[in-house]
Amino acid sequence: MESSWGVGTTSPSSDPIIHLLHRFTYGPTKDSVSEVTKIGADAWFEKQLDHLALPDTKVESYLAKWDIFNYIHKDMNFLWPLAESEGDMSKGQIFYSNHLTGRVLHLYTLIQQTHSERQIFEMMVEFWHDHLNITTLGDETKDGNLDWHTNDWNKRVIRQYALGRFDDLLQAAALHPAMLVYLDGELSTKEQPNENFGRELLELYTVTPKSGYTQSDIINAAKLFSGLRVKWPERWYQRGPRTRPWGSTFVDVPPYSTMLHGERQNYGTFKIMGWQKSVTTLDQVLPAIKSLLSYLAAHPETAKAIALKLGRRFVEDVPSQQFINDIAASYTSNNGDIKAVLKAVYQHPDFKNAAGKKLKRPGEDYVSVARTLNVFPNFTRVQKWKGITKEFSYPAVVPDELKRMGHAPLSWPFPDGYPDVASSWVNANHQVLRWNVYGHFLQGNTWNQPALDSLLPIRETNLDRQIDQVSQLILFKELGSADRASVRNAVTKAFGPNPDLNNYYRDITGLIARLIFQLPVWSLR
Amino acid sequence: MISDDAIKNCPEGREGFTRRQFLRGAALFGGMTVLSANGIRYTFAATTNEVPDVVVTLVLRGGFDSLSAVVPTDENLMRKVRGEIFIPNSSLLPLDREFGLHPALKKFMPLWEAKELAIVNTLGAPTHSRSHFDEISDVAYAAYGEKDKRSGWIARFLDVAGNGSAVQSVGIGSTTRQLIGGKAAPVNVDAINNFRLDSVFGYKAEDLAGFIDETHGRWTNIWATQAKSTIAALDQIAMASAQKTVVTYPNTGTGQRFRDVAALLKAGIGVRAVDIEFQGDWDMHANMGTLDDGWLTSYLADLAGSISAFREDLGVLWSRVTVVTVTEFGRRVSQNQSAGTDHGWGSSTFVAGGGVNGGKIHGRFPGLDDKQLKDGDLVVTADYRSLLSEILTRRAGITAEGAAQVFPNFRPEVLSVMKHLSETPLPENFPTKVQTALGNVAYDPDKLPTMAPVASATPTPTPTNTVDATPSPTPTAKPNNSNSPAASASPTTKSTKKTITCVKNGKTIRVTGTNPKCPTGYKIKK
């Protein structure tokens, strides 16, 4: 997104460290800036890519405090018996009628984005979730059958492979029950293979329409995948919404709760673009699927499609053709190794020249405020939910705030993932909601009240110096003279010509911060 | 060249500027395109202008069972398919020989009798997937065959017909995909009084608005530009929030939403399109309830109660409003095992407003015999986009070419559910402020689509509460020449037009035509 600004305004920081942290984290913080300054940007980047070696005690100890996170990342085999143990399916249904599993995942995601040390990893979790999108907002449209799988999807597909190889990620996604439910593989029959997954596999996840695939490629893919279905727990078939599938030939597809159903499987010679295989027995199906997915993952158009999306995420809304070519080449020569490709993005000249060219989407705005203020969700403002064996305390308002702004975590309802260009996120309603949210954060509402004095180096009593301090905390630079005057005027309008920081420290500092979040420069990253 | 005066007279709302002044102005530069200061283009085709309707869509999310609302009176057939949820004719409110209305919709009857409510059979989408997921989105985007579905049809409508107001479209409720995308920024709210800035730390909301305006004014990018218009919208929505009403709406989310919309329209801030989400899920797979009580009955009462209160609240503004129901699909003809119905396809649609050929069931009912159904569903006999197209072209002031941009890859059929604006002159007491905010749309009367014969032959019974709303269609005696360009440019046709003034109970309207007559109940003012 292009911007220009007049004299005296506060422009985006040109400091390469700030730029790096704007793009590869959910927002620069005091601590992250000092760390990069200390060890150097390249070393920081390398360290981030080895995410499992990074200790993450702050976020882990927080999550351990709340019962609700006992239900994070659980799969259907854990959740279903628990739901059923109540002996009342209407209670068991809280998992989907209240979207409990999805909501836990949303809160968990926001907390990780805000406080995890593994920032590049968290950014890629979101990136890949959007790329292979399933909605976790609650799935009325799938009759509650999807919510059982969204947490396991997050854990064993997205988080497992977010910094691995794209081929592995794609294999996991294609075989996971969440995808089978979301794109209707569950509804396939031998005679009528559902085309949804076959279509999106080509259109969205890999080669894109630019590759020139045909409807027959889609149908062939659908036929090849027609035997896959979810392996629900035995009791689910007895008490759940669907009966046990007709037939007798079932082969497990580990490690997921997925199986091949012989009676639904199509056989023959499958030709999809430049790939072809004959499948005559059930045990040939999985190797053929894996071979097709590897072919697609390695396809040059897949490389370009992923390069384009990475460019949009980390560089600018419309990445240059040169960038796409360079990153696609890196993807191909590194065999789809995500860490290597990210390094190529980071080292690309287009990245270095892109400071301030991305508009924060609501989620990035929201999380970057929480990071700046170093706050956690407020568990004293909670809804009580009837749970499986007891009530949960759940701060539902936190993800709900983002939901109202159209950006609840991992919740885009369509298969193509949240849009990642500025024009999709500019509207009156979102702006008003964002502007008010800054106030909520500073007053301590859905998130804990920030400890402003401990965030700032000095307990300042001089207004001008306090404005400078707060500006450094939020923007890592001084305000432009005109913006500075606007902030000063606003504070004196509210607190008189000589605002008394001694007695009204919190309110005055809160207002200054509120106004600085409000500046146009904050909307950029 | 277009003079500065002419530009100043553009219909975007300069103070003290009335429609008639505008008409004079238009006559001076007929056939030109004016580019106003804010870049909005106004095309003055050749001839005449009208204040357009506000288009209000009411989304019945979940899939509307129209067979329980507009009920076929063939009892034998209905008893067979509907079983437990069968409604006997004796309970129905009579519509015509073939259909009756569910008794919970009784508040629709005054609108029906005043010919302000029409029913259209049997509309639906071209797709038949029975999936909420696919259909509610597709219906909102209404861009079948287009790859990019990031803009909803209302957003595209405003791209074609926008008036430059800061608040052109408002979405009330949570589903607002019809408003997604486009250049005209929609305001999406749960309730209009939520659309405001909070004051914080002793700093007033209006000061904060000023701060935002000032600091964003130093920037040029799409975010900052939107911010300035958002600040303007805040003021305008605040004006709407301040509107009072004496009308009692149903005490429901939907009732509240209609009350909000009435306030928006009364405030005269230039809203052209509103998308209301009915609060509640129509996906009645089980336990629909009884005639007296339950899920369906309470929803239907809410539906009719909200719209009739809205009509009452709007008063004379009703003459420039069209309300149309939208749903993702109708429901299965046969009742299921759980006293409910499953996802189906075609559905009857309600259209209400000042420009409706009302009191009539339009369209074609496909029949309920097994052989007439498609996989157990009512067949769609007309695409819902045909109705929307007609509303946009006849009431909301866009051309057929414009409608083709709103609904790509689609050729609408003429349903004649709507009257053209020219048949429903603006009532004299229509508030100037609202009129100015809505602006004028130009149309070429010689290029109007062929009108189906409407109710002018049978005098409208005039219920006392609807005097100002729908004068029965003026017999303009328009030559039936839409397919005949040669005949269309007849200046003599135009020059023979006269305008008369009609009054009733202190209300005044003006009627234009070759042989103008006052509507029933009105007397000509000499």
Q: Which pLDDT tens digit goes with each residue over B323-332?
A: 999 998 999 9
The CATH number given to whatever domain includes residue B154 is: 3.40.720
Q: Do A429 and B223 touch (CB under 8 A)?
A: no
The pLDDT tens digits of the residues spanning B16-59 come to 232 222 332 233 333 333 333 333 444 444 457 889 999 999 99
* B215/A502 Cα distance (integer angstroms): 28
- Position A236 confidence tier, pLDDT thresholds 50, 70, 90: confident
* B435/B259 Cα distance (integer angstroms): 20
B223 to chain A, minimum CA–CA distance in Å? 6
Q: Give me the mean pLDDT over the A17-29 stretch.
A: 98
User: Which residue in B131, B189, B227 is closest to A429 by CB distance?
Assistant: B189
Q: Which residues of A21-44 are buried (b: 16+ CB within 10 A; e: fewer)?
A: bbbbbbbbbbebbebbeeeebeeb
3-state SS track over B474-516: CCCCCCCCCCCHHHHCCHHHHHCCEEEEEEECCEEEEEEECCC
B513 strand-pairing partners: B498
Cβ contacts from A onto B, under 8 A: 128
Give chain B's contact residues with A (Cβ, < 8 Å): 131-133, 137, 147, 150, 166-167, 181, 185-189, 195-198, 200-204, 207-208, 211-212, 214-216, 218-224, 226-227, 229-230, 233-234, 283
Q: Do B220 and A4 touch (CB under 8 A)?
A: yes
Q: Do B208 and A507 touch (CB under 8 A)?
A: no
Dihedral pair phi/psi, residue B467, rounded to 5°: -60, -40
Q: Which of B68, B108, B24 is nearest to B291 (CA)?
A: B68
3-state SS track over A197-217: HHHHHHHHHCCCHHHCCCHHH
Residue to test with chain A: of B189, B201, B211, B275, most A Cβ within 10 A: B201
- Position A148 confidence tier, pLDDT thresholds 50, 70, 90: confident
Q: The tokens of A446 are what?
A: 């859905």
pLDDT for B25 equals 29
B235 to chain A, minimum CA–CA distance in Å? 12
pLDDT for A79 equals 80
pLDDT for B512 equals 65
Q: Do B223 and A520 touch (CB under 8 A)?
A: yes
Residue A11: closest CA among chain B residues belongs to which residue? B219
| Residue B211 domain flag | no
* A362/A431 Cα distance (integer angstroms): 9
Q: How many domains does chain B have?
A: 1
User: Which residue in B189, B197, B283 is closest to A435 by CB distance?
Assistant: B197
Question: How far, CA to CA in Å, does A158 sit from each of A173, A178, A410, A433, B101?
Answer: 8, 12, 11, 30, 52
Which residues in chain B have their CB less than 8 angstroms from residue A204's CB?
Answer: none
Q: Mutual orientation of helices B222-241 and B253-266 as an angle, nearest 10°?
A: 100
B170 strand-pairing partners: B187, B274
How many residues are listed for chain A in this entry? 525
* SS3 state at A248: coil
pLDDT for B453 equals 39
Q: Whole domain around residue B256: which residue ranges?
A: 54-196+231-423
Helix (H) or strand (E) holding B389: helix B384-390
| Residue B250 domain flag | yes
Residues of chain B short of pLDDT 50, as ranges, are: 1-46, 451-495
pLDDT for B188 equals 77
| Residue B324 domain flag | yes
Q: Which of B351, B349, B384, B381 is nearest to B365 (CA)?
A: B381
3-state SS track over B120-162: EEEEECCCCCCCHHHHHHHHHHCCCCCCCCCCCHHHHHHHHHC
User: Which residue in B211, B219, B230 is closest to A428 by CB distance?
Assistant: B230
Q: Are strands A4-5 and B219-220 parallel, antiparallel or unpaired?
A: antiparallel
* A474/A472 Cα distance (integer angstroms): 6
pLDDT for B226 equals 87
* B254/B240 Cα distance (integer angstroms): 18
pLDDT for B49 equals 83
Residue B187: closest CA among chain A residues belongs to which residue? A429
Q: Does A357 touch chain B (CB under 8 A)?
A: no
* A159/A152 Cα distance (integer angstroms): 10
pLDDT at A381 over 90: no
Which residues in chain B have their CB less than 8 angstroms from residue A141's CB?
Answer: 131-133
Instruction: Please state whether A396 falls in left (phi above 0), alpha (psi between -120 and 50) or beta.
Output: alpha
Q: Are A14 and A357 in contact (CB under 8 A)?
A: no
pLDDT for B12 equals 29
Q: Which residues contact B361 (CB under 8 A, 6 or more apart)?
A: B70, B95, B96, B98, B99, B118, B119, B120, B121, B348
| Residue B432 domain flag | no
Burial of A385 (0-12, 13-18, 19+ CB in 10 A): middle
* B231/A435 Cα distance (integer angstroms): 11
B183 to chain A, minimum CA–CA distance in Å? 9
Helix (H) or strand (E) holding A518: helix A505-518
